[in-house]
Amino acid sequence: MKEEEIKGVIFDLDGTLVDSYQAIYLSFHHVYTQLNLTPLPFAEVKKVVGRGLSHTFRDLLGEELVSRALLLFRQKYEEVFREHTKLLPDVPEVLAELHRRKISLAVASNKLGKFSRAIFEHFQLQKYFAVIVGDGDVAQNKPDPEMIYFALDKMGLKKEEVIFVGDSVIDIQTAKNAGMKICAIPSGNTSKEDLEKAQPTVLLERLLDLLFYVGKGGEKLSQKTH
70 and 176 in a single domain? The answer is: no
Cα–Cα separations (whole angstroms), residue 53 to 50, 66, 169, 179, 190? 8, 9, 17, 26, 18
Are 31 and 12 found together in one domain? no
What's the rounded Cα separation, in Å, for the pair 50 and 63?
Answer: 18
Give the torsion through C-alpha atoms of 169, 58, 47, 12, to 10 deg: 40
Boundary of a domain, candidates 52, 80, 108: 80
Q: Are residues 110 and 195 in the same domain?
A: yes
Domain that holds residue 121: 8-19+86-223
Judged by DSSP in three states, 180 sits in coil
Taking all residues of the chain, what is their mean pLDDT, rounded to a whole number? 92
The answer to whether residue 102 is domain-embedded is yes
In a domain, 2, yes or no: no
Q: Are 168 and 188 in contact (CB under 8 A)?
A: yes
Q: Has residue 216 been placed in a domain?
A: yes
Reported as a pLDDT band with limits 50, 70 and 90, residue 51 is confident
How many domains is the chain partitioned into structurally?
Answer: 2
Q: What is the pLDDT of residue 50?
A: 84
Q: Is 83 exposed, middle or buried (0-12, 13-18, 19+ CB in 10 A)?
A: exposed
106 assigned to some structural domain: yes
Residues 69 and 166 in one domain: no
pTM reported for the whole predicted model: 0.91
Q: Looking at this protein, which amino acid is placed at residue 165? A: V
Q: Are residues 72 and 162 in the same domain?
A: no
Q: Is 71 in the same domain as 99?
A: no
Tens of pLDDT, residue by residue over 112-129, are: 999 999 999 999 999 999
Let me know whether 188 and 90 are in one domain. Answer: yes
In angstroms, the CA 174 to CA 172 distance is 5
3 domain residue, yes or no:
no
Residue 192 to residue 195: CA distance in whole angstroms: 5
Domain at 178, CATH number: 3.40.50.1000
Q: Determine which helix (DSSP H) or strand (DSSP E) holds 169, and give its type and residue range.
A: helix 169-178
Are 76 and 182 part of one and the same domain? Answer: no
Q: Does residue 153 register a pLDDT over 70?
A: yes
| 63 and 102 share one domain | no
